[in-house]
Structure 1
């Protein structure tokens, strides 16, 4: 029996929620193509990504419903719908999809907080490091901007279901009060949004929801799902595995356009002396220049490999490197997601090319940006991940598994995750385990 299934809207999220659970010693796999799910027999928890954050709502709905249906055939006890920690994407539509698939007796409990990553919900407002969501960089996201801070409003705009709400004042009274309010909300609401400020709040919410005896699915960025699984299997938690130590080069592919990512690259350059090459992203949109630029970057890194044990390919080093897709010739009529694919697939081809050239000299790969991670997985025909650990919240260590079942150490991280030193933390971690 599968203890839990996680359906995420991007690869980074799928791995992150899995890593939270893997810290308790469970075997967690991320399945990239559900046609290969039989190869993941024996895992306690499985996750998958529908890559639906940038899709139109109806396509996102269909993708989530299809994934949930596949997991239903595996006698799965608990379902989680992983959402972005800043509520980007098709949150309401995907809630509707999983509820539709799981049946009329299932409720969606939305706990959008991720305290370890600075995300808390108080008074129905999602705060990012104490700043209302709509006042953060997320409101200017190039693909899926969010301009509202109230969680219930974000869900109501997309979902067909009535949305209930439980405030922090109730949560602070403990799981018995939470249980009572969950049951009260469930009388006329299929979706229930709950405030949470701390990890302890989230643990109490998990206890309250389980105590209600209602059939529910977790809608969250990871911590609530982790708490529910700990409560459900409190008497059946396995021991973790030890990590083996070696010493090789780290290959980094950093494609996020966020200002935070550029700050992290600068800190890495100042403190770890990596070899960094910036790609000409504009060339990726011109067929006559694309192959030439990809080849140039691969050969440059191969030739300069002795400069450092950290080899980094980046799309932006300062603000002027960030592209405005609307001003690029030949892209008229294309969505921002479609434009981003040009960059992601080129970065994936570069990463694969470097790894093929250097072979066993590369001990681990670091990827920033969910679209970059997904493109690389597709490029190498990966079938999934063996999720190992959470380096920091939303930065995940795993082993990527290719079609021949070969494994590579990897850390994936979202572009809006962490602080100035997070990239350094991730690289140091990866160097310790390879």
Structure 2
């Protein structure tokens, strides 16, 4: 069922924003001819290009209006007016068009930041890789030059509506404060510009705007739209059941724990920690494997990222001297048993969930090798390097032939490496 419509001022922007949403498991389509609307009935997200960036404002207004009016029943659809990440084009005219076409006091929420592309808004100034946009090549654009870096000024010059501004210090206080600020500003303004420096800031803005229960349209280069769509999907308990990333993490290093906890802080994964010492007991090993597998199967429907890890805190790390006294096992023997158990878990989960799993992330020692042995794979079709020593491949042979997989050592990367690898896998799955 169609839930989100993205109206972009060019085709590249339409596809780009659509790709961000596709990474979250939504079925996204870009329509080239409006006469083909019937071919997109089973899509969650529909992207439309008005090709209106370099034309007259009045013409851009009409094209956006016509695009929005393709949808007779607009209730229940979240609309996004995708704008250029450097604010070129008919930003104000297109804002006016979309809020007037949607009607009922629709408020435009402008979040110009696109952190993954180096665009951030601080103090109402749009920075491109740390440089005010007016000091970049965009100022010399032949059709849509940008002569000021002040976001509200750009919008005010082009829109007939009053423009309010919410600063970064308010955004940093979280979704509850954002909700109150949005409700207050919306009393006297139809357009609200908001600062954001990070994706987490944008996620908080999305939560605050949805919680405000205002009727609003997203005006942004894509990240804000994706965040709102994610909040709406979670709220309605309609997270997609295909393309999930399953992470099996056997490393117990400090860096690995930092990576898992950073993923938890910045995203919304399902994280299940094993009672690792049970793997060393022959009578408890299979019971613990089954416990973890069953917990994932019971909860997976609400998550697009599933994580199995042996430690979240330093106290979770096995005391090998105690283990040797109890079980007579060396450190190497313990490691082999643990990695085999993690491999068994990700194998069983993948086997049970089938097509719901779109890709595997394997970290730590021999987890990936043990997993491949269990599925009778014969090798990897190596495709890319996500970061040094984190490699993206496709599995060759075995019961999951062609499955995307990222393999990484436990002592590789920085705190954001896991989230980078997960996002990379989502992008490859979406393709």
TM-score under structure 1 normalisation?
0.55
Give the whole-Å Cα distance in 1 for the aligned partners of 2:87 and 2:7: 15
Distance 1:75 1:40 in 2: 18
Structure 2 counterpart of 1:275: none
Query: Of 234, 237, 240, which residue of structure 2 is paired with 1:238?
Result: 240
Q: 1:175 to 1:432 in 2, by over 3 A?
A: closer
Q: Deviations over 1:48-77 (max 9, x none)?
A: 000000110000000000001113446552
Instruction: Please report how far the alpha carbon of residue 433 of structure 1 lies from its aligned counterpart in structure 2 after TM superposition.
Output: 11
1:193 corresponds in structure 2 to 193
Structure 1 residue 138: Cα displacement: 0.5
- Deviation of 1:144 (Å): 1.1
Partner of 1:14: 14
Cα distance, 1:236 vs structure 2: 1.5
Partner residue of 2:381? none
Matched residue SS, 2:164: strand
Alignment correspondent of 1:290 = none
1:261-284 per-residue CA deviation (whole Å, 9 max, x = no partner) reads xxxxxxxxxxxxxxxxxxxxxxxx
Match of 1:141 in 2: 141
Q: How far apart, in 2, do the equivalents of 1:104 and 1:210 lie?
A: 16
SS of structure 2 residue aligned to 1:121: strand
How big is the shift at 1:239? Answer: 3.5
* 8 Å CA contact 1:108, 1:216 repeated in 2: yes
Once the 2 structures are TM-superposed, how far is the Cα of residue 164 of structure 1 from its aligned partner? 0.5
SS in 2 for 1:206: helix
Distance change >3 Å, CA 191–CA 34, structure 1 → 2: same
Q: Which residue number in structure 1 is paired with residue 202 of structure 2?
A: 202
Task: Determine the structure 2 residue equivalent to 1:156.
Answer: 156
Report deviation, 1:241: 4.6
In 2: Cα distance, 1:95 partner to 1:216 partner = 11
SS at match of 2:70: helix
Runs of 4+ in 1 over 4 A off after TM superposition: 430-434
The equivalences for 1:220-231 within 5 A come to 220-231=220-231
> Does residue 115 of the first structure (1) align with residue 89 of the second (2)?
no
Aligned to 2:26: 26
Instruction: Verify the 8 A CA contact 1:24 1:240 in the aligned structure 2.
Output: no
Secondary structure in structure 1 of the residue aligned to 2:108: strand
Per the TM alignment, residue 47 of structure 1 is displaced from its structure 2 partner at its CA by: 0.8
**Closer/same/farther in 2, CA of residues 173 and 72 from structure 1, 3 Å limit:** farther
With CA pairs under 8 Å and 6+ residues apart, which has the higher RCO, 1 or 2?
1
- Structure with bigger gyration radius: 2
Normalised by the length of structure 2, the TM-score is 0.56
**Is contact 1:109-1:219 (8 Å) kept?**
yes
Any unmatched runs of 5+ in structure 1?
Answer: 243-390, 392-429
Partners of 1:432 and 1:94 in 2: CA distance = 33
Output aligned runs, 1:10-409, within 5 Å: 10-73=10-73, 76-234=76-234, 235-241=237-243
The answer (yes or no) to whether the contact 1:2–1:74 under 8 Å persists in 2 is no
Q: Deviations over 1:382-407 (max 9, x none)?
A: xxxxxxxxx9xxxxxxxxxxxxxxxx
